Structure 1
Amino acid sequence: MLRRPEWAFSIREAARMTAFARTRSGLLELEFEQRKGRTVLMRDVQKAPLMIVRPFELPCGTLSVFIVNPTGGFLGGDQAEIRVRVGPGARALLLTQSATRVQPSPSGLDAVQNIKFSVAAGGRLEYYPERTIPFAGSHFRQTLRADLETGAEFGLTETLTTGRVAMGERLQFGRYRSSTALWQAGKRVFLERVDVQPDAHDLMAPGVLAGQDYSASGVWIGSAEAGEMPHFPAVPGRLASGRTARGAVWLRALAASGPELDAAITQAREQLRQELFGAPKLEIRR
């Protein structure tokens, strides 16, 4: 019987591993400006797997843009970068078309997303993505930095689930890391770091997830100081809110049900938008 030399198997195995190790580098660069009293998208750079759907102007005058990843999610080793600049007087709303799905990473490599926002005085940027779902065996790392001039307005909410709960994948991902920082006029006004490692900690313990499968966080900063903290709706889990020393309003919530948490966070978001921005309710078109 003829036998293949060992080097033949080595080459085949190397090719197979190289194929699995392929990664993607996505880029999305957007610039919004005010022209004749309306917000327009002046710059639009897209590199797959990051894309956008055509902008829509909402009844309130805000320009809404949906971010799309048509590939079905992030893979281990993927690198995605989002850069957004909002000029004076412009109003921009960034949404995602669907949940962010972080696929399994057999190699153990992180799927990485870096987000950089810049908002000029008198401008407003809001970023309300759909929830992040880390699949079993996935690794994800995100950094978000927003640089705001004095008089700029900013809003952000993010929701994380413990996995594909309905499929029995609760807390089976490898690691989830997130860092969010807001700077205004060269001073840091807000910082949040999250590092979730299911194998290293009892995440369902009291004081952590407390048995809940859905968590949300949000932060807003307006062009004027807010008054008293508004009364937020009851969340079927736990909710906490407050204000940083430099005026950013933050919100945290936990719940067992995703839709119930989403509804409560949306209501709280609209209350804060009205108080901090003096803005009407968002009428989002999907």
Structure 2
Amino acid sequence: MAADTPEEPAGPPDGPPVPPSRRDGDAADEPPHPAFADYATESLPAAAVGSPGKDGRLELRFAADEGGETNLVRDLARAPFHVSGTLGHDPLPEAETVYVQSPTGGVAQGDRHRIDVEVGSGAVAHVSTQSSQKVLSMERNYAAADVSLSVGRGGHLDYVPEPAILHEDSRFFQAIDLDLAADASAVVGDVVVPGRLARGERFDFERYLSRLRVRRDDALLVDDATHLRPADADPSAAGVMGEFAVVGTLYVLVPVGESDALDDLSDRLHAAATGVAEADGTSAADDRRDDTVRAGATRLPNDAGCVVRALGHRAETVTAALRAAWDEARTDLLGAGAPDSRRP
């Protein structure tokens, strides 16, 4: 998690920073990580990597107008993504919300998705998904998502999608790159469900790797990853996930100069996340209960912010714990809590 120098300079002073470039000439099936190199050599029997329907693209750009209201000024969606407009239900009146939809059954082998979200100076945006992301069973190759997030001066982004459900034999790589201006903030959430738990699937996927990198002012502040391969190491071992199946992470990135308040923020995020379980009467002795959640919070390196991690038996309980922490973080950063979920 040491500082690093990005490949490209920062963007203009009034706009969002320019994220590190993806080389345009790269082959569509170039592995994003050495762990996926063998999968990349496996050809697909039907639609090839990069063919129509496999190469999803989503671009969202938010900007604040003269009155301080945030507007969605650009949206481009290529299958399997769909955007039907914005929702004005945020507790912060000037903020804007977009729910990303998908008409497909889930993420399939050979899918390559690219998501770009830019939040301009002074804008406040919330991006989520309509439903959980199903990563379908795979026989060959793998699926990958490349997510680029950037927030300009005085802006804020909440990127909190619904959980990813890893079906049997699935292989999925997700890279999230977040670039922040000095006084920008963001909240990024990630919840992973290791199978269709109601059907008895539990850690039957092949490989899952999700990596978050946060940059500010030409420096790499945070480099964190969740990498699970049940065939190599038992996720249910002590010190990994133990009795629990679902893992969730919430990253809270704060503006520069907030380091003195981070210990207090970490304590409040911890109290919020664990308070959900305590409200249900959960004790340390009943980790096998379906509604049990274990959560903790700590500071991120380089005074970047705080991270909250939660373990549970069900996606709903882990999501609830992280949502409580998100509400606390957003109140601290913006003076308004997290938007209510629009899911039924």
> What TM-score, normalized by structure 2, do the two folds share?
0.74
Per-residue CA deviation, residues 13-61 of structure 1 (Å, 9 max, x unaligned), is xxxx642656510101111000132111111111111122311122412
Structure 1, unmatched stretches of 5+, are 1-16
What amino acid does structure 2 have at the position aligned with 1:250? V
Aligned-residue CA RMSD (Å) = 1.7
Which residue of 235, 238, 241 corresponds with 1:209? 241
What amino acid does structure 2 have at the position aligned with 1:30? L
Identity between Structure 1 and Structure 2 (%): 30
Give the C-alpha shift of residue 193 in structure 1. 1.3
Give the C-alpha shift of residue 276 in structure 1. 3.1
Structure 2, unmatched stretches of 5+, are 1-43, 278-291
Match of 1:53 in 2: 84
Match of 1:4 in 2: none
- Does structure 1 residue 232 correspond to structure 2 residue 272? yes
* Distance across 1 between alignment mates of 2:296 and 2:342: 29
Match of 2:64 in 1: 34
Give the C-alpha shift of residue 110 in structure 1. 1.2
Which residue of 207, 220, 243 corresponds with 2:299? 243
Match of 1:282 in 2: 339
With 36-45 and 84-93 compared, the bigger mean Cα shift is at 36-45
Match of 2:125 in 1: 92
Asked if the contact 2:273–2:296 (Cα under 8 Å) also holds between the matched residues in 1, the reply is no
Match of 2:23 in 1: none
* Distance across 1 between alignment mates of 2:155 and 2:48: 41
Match of 2:194 in 1: 162
Give the C-alpha shift of residue 196 in structure 1. 0.7
- Does structure 1 residue 189 correspond to structure 2 residue 211? no
Match of 2:99 in 1: 66
- Does structure 1 residue 257 correspond to structure 2 residue 314? yes
Report how many aligned residue pairs link the two structures: 269
Match of 2:46 in 1: 19
Per-residue CA deviation, residues 52-97 of structure 1 (Å, 9 max, x unaligned), is 2311122412210011121111111100000111101111100100
Give the C-alpha shift of residue 187 in structure 1. 1.7
Which residue of 238, 257, 267 corresponds with 2:324? 267
Match of 2:14 in 1: none
1:53 is paired with a residue whose SS is strand
* Distance across 1 between alignment mates of 2:117 and 2:71: 13
Match of 1:83 in 2: 116
Residues 59 and 244 of structure 1, relative CA distance in 2, 3 Å threshold: closer
2:202 is paired with a residue whose SS is coil
Which residue of 123, 140, 162 corresponds with 2:155? 123
Asked if the contact 2:310–2:321 (Cα under 8 Å) also holds between the matched residues in 1, the reply is no
Match of 2:13 in 1: none
What amino acid does structure 2 have at the position aligned with 1:27? R
- Does structure 1 residue 143 correspond to structure 2 residue 175? yes
Give the C-alpha shift of residue 282 in structure 1. 2.1
Higher RCO (CA 8 Å, separation ≥ 6 residues): 2
Asked if the contact 1:138–1:173 (Cα under 8 Å) also holds between the matched residues in 2, the reply is yes
* Distance across 2 between alignment mates of 1:245 and 1:171: 30
Give the C-alpha shift of residue 158 in structure 1. 0.9
1:54 is paired with a residue whose SS is strand
> What TM-score, normalized by structure 1, do the two folds share?
0.89
Per-residue CA deviation, residues 218-266 of structure 1 (Å, 9 max, x unaligned), is 1111235135131334242321211123222101110113222222211
Asked if the contact 1:153–1:277 (Cα under 8 Å) also holds between the matched residues in 2, the reply is no
Give the C-alpha shift of residue 285 in structure 1. 4.0
What amino acid does structure 1 have at the position aligned with 2:57? L
Residues 272 and 131 of structure 1, relative CA distance in 2, 3 Å threshold: same
Give the C-alpha shift of residue 271 in structure 1. 0.9
**Where has structure 1 moved over 4 Å in runs of 4 or more?**
20-23
Per-residue CA deviation, residues 163-219 of structure 1 (Å, 9 max, x unaligned), is 111111111111111110111122222221121111111110111111211110011
Match of 2:206 in 1: 174
What amino acid does structure 1 have at the position aligned with 2:107? F
Give the C-alpha shift of residue 116 in structure 1. 0.3
2:46 is paired with a residue whose SS is helix
* Distance across 1 between alignment mates of 2:220 and 2:251: 13
Per-residue CA deviation, residues 99-120 of structure 1 (Å, 9 max, x unaligned), is 010011111x111100001110
Asked if the contact 2:273–2:295 (Cα under 8 Å) also holds between the matched residues in 1, the reply is no
Asked if the contact 1:221–1:276 (Cα under 8 Å) also holds between the matched residues in 2, the reply is no
With 187-196 and 144-153 compared, the bigger mean Cα shift is at 187-196
